[in-house]
Every structure is written in C-alpha cells, then in structure tokens.
Structure 1
C-alpha cells in the first residue's frame, strides 16, 4: 500500500513520534493506521521499561480542589530534566492525574497507576507512552487526597515545584490559601505539639541538655533551660506555633483561632525532596555523546 505524507502526518499528530518512526510503522502495518498505533505503543512500552532505572528528580506538583471545596488532591510526578517538566505534554499529564484523583476512590499507588484518566487510558499506560515520546523516565512518586463532609480544603502552588494541600474544620478559601502559602514557605513538621514524634522530642532534649551542661549551672536550672528550648523548638516546627509569614506579630495558631477555625491536616510536597540527584558534568556528557557518534 502507498504510504502518503498525509498518513504520516496524522500518525505523528496522534502519537507524537518522529516522522521516520511513523513512516516505518505504517509500512510494517501495511497502511493500517490503528495497527500502526498499537505496534508503536507496544514498542513504546518496551522503551519505557528500559528507562525505568534512571533517576527522576525533576518534575511538577499538581493540585486540584473540587468546585464545592470539599475535596482536594495533590500529586508529585517526576521526570529527569526541567526541560521535560515544562513541556506541555508533561504538564497536561500532571494536571490530568490530579483532576482524575478528585473523582476517584484511590488509596494506594497501585490503584493510582490503574486509575483511568479522562480519555479512558490508565495513568500507567499514559505514563509509559509519555516516556516513549519524551525520552525520559517519568514516575508518579506520591499523592494525597483530602475529603471533608463539613469543612473545606484549600491549596497553594509555588511555581510548579512546591505544592500544599490544607483541610480546615470550616470552609474558608482565603484563610486556607494563606495557611497553605505559609506552609510552603515555612515547612512546618506537623500541625501541633501533640503530633511531634516523641523520638524527635527526646533527641532534641539530649542535644539541649548537652549544650546547657557546658554552662556549669545547677541541674534544676539546666532543666528549666531545656524546657525553654523545647518550647522554642515547638514554636519553630509546628504550624500553629510558627509566626505567620504575613504578620510576624501573630502565630498561625492565634490567626486560625481568631477566625473560629481549626487546621485538621496538611500535606506539603516538593519536587526532588529526599531524592539523591546524580551530579552531572555537562562538558563531559557532551563529549561522551560526540564520541559515540
């Protein structure tokens, strides 16, 4: 069958693959467009598997809030370079996953990967196709979903690298956004003192005691010094104890109380957080590619 330029153009538009790959696929499928797409997707899946071991420490955070503000989702999806993270295909994928999470009953990573997007294709199949198209490893790293019957959710996205999702006891979009913005900037460990892990508290006490002991003061004074340092520590690491970024004369706890509200929980995700990035020497990388040609 004669493979026309129009057929190649259509296949390129539908798959996002290169012209020569599209022409070859059409020839092998004897001009059958759907068969060519199926074969290319199979090939793409193989290519995707080969890239799965590569470090993906760049990417984008996606956040979505439902129209009634009762449900909020946040997802961290990673790729290898900032260039791909800014590409329309990747951005659309992240937003599509966050949007689909709003209306899906998802609790695990396995369920998320199997979740269908708006076009009916699963997250994992779309991800693998994107790997084949963009040439980089892409991973759906983590997600959170909050739902409240009587309260409200809010979010804040700082650029595309830091996202925060907040649940309030009472719906308050403005307060929620302010709190989420504060969390993005101040990185609290948890909402309140009661949520600070006991192990963390004991470790801090040991450090403070060792520092206070050097003063040579009596034990009872040292205990008071340590208690004071722990109180200061709580004010630094808990959301309610921190001074509000928009007004450092008031704590977040007092701000929320003045609004007759309560912060139930929050999630703060940052791209690349906790991932050990591979240090690249750009000049050496270019030379290696030149020698390989």
Structure 2
C-alpha cells in the first residue's frame, strides 16, 4: 500500500465534513502572504472545478472576511444578503451555493487558510454545526502542518486598490439583470493600474453595447479567469451571433493590443465566443 499523501489526508477530512453535516460542498483555501491572496486548493462536491482558477485578494470575499475578523463567516441567502458585493464571492457563484459557512484555519495564532462548507439550497447552520467545523478545522491544520516543512510566514497588511472593474460589473448587472451573467474568478484585477482598468472598461462597454443593441433579448456571459500565473483571460459569450463589422473588430483589436493582449473570436452554431488574454504584470505597472 502506497504512502498516504497530504492531499489524501485533506480529502478524507473534507469528505468527513460533508458527511458529518450533510452539506453539498466543502473546500479548502490557503493563504499566500507574499502575494496576499487566497487560492482554493481542494474541494469535494464541485460542479465544474472552476474553483482551481479562483484567485481571491486578501481583502475580498469569504476568505477576506475571515482574515479580517479571524472568526467564522456565515451567509444564509446568497446573493441577496451581499447586495452589490456579490462579485467578490466567486466561489459561491461558480458552485451555485445559496448558503455557506467559512471557518479560519489557525496555526498557533497565524491564519493560514479557510475551510468552507456550502449548500445549494437555503440553509441556516446551527451553533453545533459551526462548533463541529471548528473542531475539524483544528484537525485539518494538524494534518496540513505535519505534511509540510517549515512554518507559514507572517501576513502583511496592505491596502487593496479600488477595483473599478468590479464596480463597473456591479452597475452593468443592475442594468441588465438576468440577461448578463458575470463570473469573476481571477480577482487579481484589483492589482491592475487605474489606467488599465479604465481601458478594459472601455472594451467591455464597446462589446456589451454591440451585444445588447443588436439582440436585446439575448443573454451574455462574461467570465474572467486565471489562465496561468502570469496571465488572465476574459471570455464573452453571446447567446445569439454578435455581428462586428471589419472596422469595428479592427478598432477592438487595436484597443486590446494597446493593453499588450490578444483576441480571438469564434462562432459556434448561433453563439459568439470572444476571448481576450492579457499579461498581468504588464497591466500592474502603468506602462501600457
């Protein structure tokens, strides 16, 4: 019989959590104090494995709330409870979770990660269930620290830049409602310079105007996700074919190239799938 790996141990713990409180979903995120971000590393009950590509800045979302308060964070009804902050919770969107509870993972006094439990129907977690999760979190930390060498570094305090793109998407969602679906998995966009974010907003305005003016009844999906450690991608999919003239597409391509990105457009049946890829480091500095 082969040696039990750290991943095996953590998977067993997550399975026991799901079985213990009869939840739909369970996941672990660990904190990177150097880059000041959380990454979801392991999940049970995932719908699509999109959690792997989620990057959460330390001041945002479930993990950010836990990091700030150093205690559990509960959501009974998502997204209603969070109003215009819903985009900061990509794990709930990607996994279609309605209710969730997250508890901190402490090594000594240092927060090293978050344990999340989710339900796809409305559910109010009891105090007994939360205490059970806290007990399991201690066991998870013990397994994690024994499986790794060295101790976690101290986290740093740093002000997170204002995410103009996030605010923009919230406004567009309020306007178009169910006609516009936005999944913001890579939250490193909060690192982008203000100039870069404003240029991306200009690109989104151009594309959404074309999509909705031509087919006002259609649905548009926007997905921003991790492509690699150095790249993020933006995918816009329209339910009906989005017609761009040669002049319009040339203008769009020029704007993308100004951000050192590339663009690809495909037509599948009646759908249009437009993908843009950008290098993160080139957009953090204001040297476009």
Query: What is the TM-score when the length of structure 2 is the normalising length?
Result: 0.23
Which structure's CA Rg is the greater one?
A: 1
Normalized per residue, the structure richer in helix is: 1
Comparing both structures, which one devotes a greater share of its residues to strand?
A: 2
Select the structure with the greater relative contact order (CA < 8 A; seq sep ≥ 6): 1
Q: TM-score, normalised by structure 1?
A: 0.23
